């Protein structure tokens, strides 16, 4: 799953990297993004737009916004079959922007917070879906979910699921609302290349969503997991 992530990349870099043509909401750096908070997304409407949506998808037919708390993630293997996601998969696909995410690795009886990012420190995009929901006051709420898949070799020791990170060449295919090739779209929902990623232990400071700041991403000791390198003597004793 994906239950916490970070986005520290400067807005201008994100605009250039993702080909944004219209900025609706400019993001601020955030170290510890949690469910029910707003997240930065790119959508394709009349052009490529950078905006914010609530994290936790609220289907258009929902009676209450709280349903979104159970829909922060959806499994890529079944999303085309589930009523909550079927419509969004066809018409409302988005990129949820990040430059790192957190997972808690079970070590004995404790859970060790781990930060996962690209080796080149570049921002990336989770495959996401979004929906519109009308509040009782008549306002429109936009909300989203992050799609998950089976873990790659880097993630297997950490968790049994991982978020779908789209390859840069696949991002526009995913966003294009005219693309109704469901088979092709489903084929994009695969584990990311582990050789491009790295993971390391961070402080349990990140455990609380209320905590922000550099301590969230600061390594504890050395890199714990690197798919392309042999574990160091120090990291193997963590």
Q: Is 206 helix (H, G, I), strand (E, B) or coil?
A: helix
Q: Which one is catalytic: 21, 81, 103, 122? A: 103
Q: What is the pLDDT of residue 138?
A: 86
Is 93 within a domain? yes
* Structural domain count of the chain: 1
Q: What is the pLDDT of residue 6?
A: 98
Is 128 within a domain? yes
H helix or E strand, kind and range, residue 14: helix 11-17
| Per-residue pLDDT band at 238 (split at 50, 70, 90) | very low
Q: Does position 232 have pLDDT exceeding 50, yes or no?
A: no
Q: Which one is catalytic: 2, 94, 144, 216? A: 2
Residues 6 or more apart whose CB falls under 8 angstroms from that of 216 comprise 6, 31, 32, 102, 115, 202, 203, 205, 206
Residue-wise pLDDT tens digits, 45-74: 999 999 999 999 999 888 889 999 999 999
Residue-wise pLDDT tens digits, 18-36: 999 999 999 999 999 999 9
Q: What is the pLDDT of residue 48?
A: 97
Is 201 within a domain? no
Rounded to whole angstroms, how far apart are CA atoms 66 and 44? 27
- H runs (alpha helix) in 92-204: 171-175, 182-187
Residue-wise pLDDT tens digits, 107-147: 999 999 999 999 999 999 999 999 999 988 888 999 999 99
Rounded to whole angstroms, how far apart are CA atoms 101 and 111? 16
Is 148 within a domain? yes
More confident residue, 10 or 83: 10
Rounded to whole angstroms, how far apart are CA atoms 119 and 99? 10
Domain CATH code at residue 147: 3.90.1680.10
More confident residue, 87 or 44: 44
The pLDDT > 70 percentage for the chain reads 92
- Catalytic residue check, 216: no
Residue-wise pLDDT tens digits, 137-175: 888 999 999 999 999 999 999 999 999 999 999 999 999
Q: What is the pLDDT of residue 160?
A: 96
Sheet (strand 219-225) strand order: 30-33, 5-7, 100-107, 110-118, 197-202, 219-225
More confident residue, 80 or 234: 80
Is 110 within a domain? no
pTM: 0.91
Rounded to whole angstroms, how far apart are CA atoms 120 and 110? 30
Residue 170 domain boundaries: 5-104+121-194
- Catalytic residue check, 122: no
Is 63 within a domain? yes
Q: Does position 234 have pLDDT exceeding 90, yes or no?
A: no
- Is the torsion defined by CA of 172, 174, 180, 186 positive or negative? positive
Rounded to whole angstroms, how far apart are CA atoms 133 and 136? 10
């Amino acid at each position: 799953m994906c239950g916490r992530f970070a986005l520290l990349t400067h807005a201008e870099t994100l605009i250039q990297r993702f080909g944004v043509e219209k900025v609706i909401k400019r993001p601020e750096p955030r170290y510890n993004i949690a469910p029910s908070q707003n997240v930065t997304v790119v959508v394709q409407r009349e052009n490529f737009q950078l905006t914010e949506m609530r994290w936790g998808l609220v289907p258009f037919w929902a009676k209450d916004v709280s349903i979104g708390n159970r829909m922060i993630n959806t499994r890529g293997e079944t999303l085309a079959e589930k009523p909550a996601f079927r419509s969004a998969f066809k018409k409302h696909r988005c990129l949820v922007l990040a430059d790192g995410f957190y997972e808690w690795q079970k070590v004995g009886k404790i859970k060790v917070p781990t930060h996962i990012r690209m080796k080149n420190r570049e921002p990336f995009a989770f495959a996401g879906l979004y929906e519109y929901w009308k509040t009782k006051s008549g306002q429109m709420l936009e909300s989203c979910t992050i799609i998950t898949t089976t873990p790659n070799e880097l993630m297997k020791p950490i968790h049994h699921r991982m978020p779908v990170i789209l390859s840069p060449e696949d991002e526009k295919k995913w966003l294009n609302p005219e693309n109704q090739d469901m088979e092709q779209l489903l084929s994009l929902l695969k584990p990311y290349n582990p050789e491009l990623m790295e993971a390391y232990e961070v402080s349990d400071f990140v455990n609380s969503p209320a905590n922000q700041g550099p301590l969230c991403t600061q390594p504890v000791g050395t890199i714990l997991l690197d798919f392309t390198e042999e574990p160091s003597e120090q990291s193997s004793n963590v």
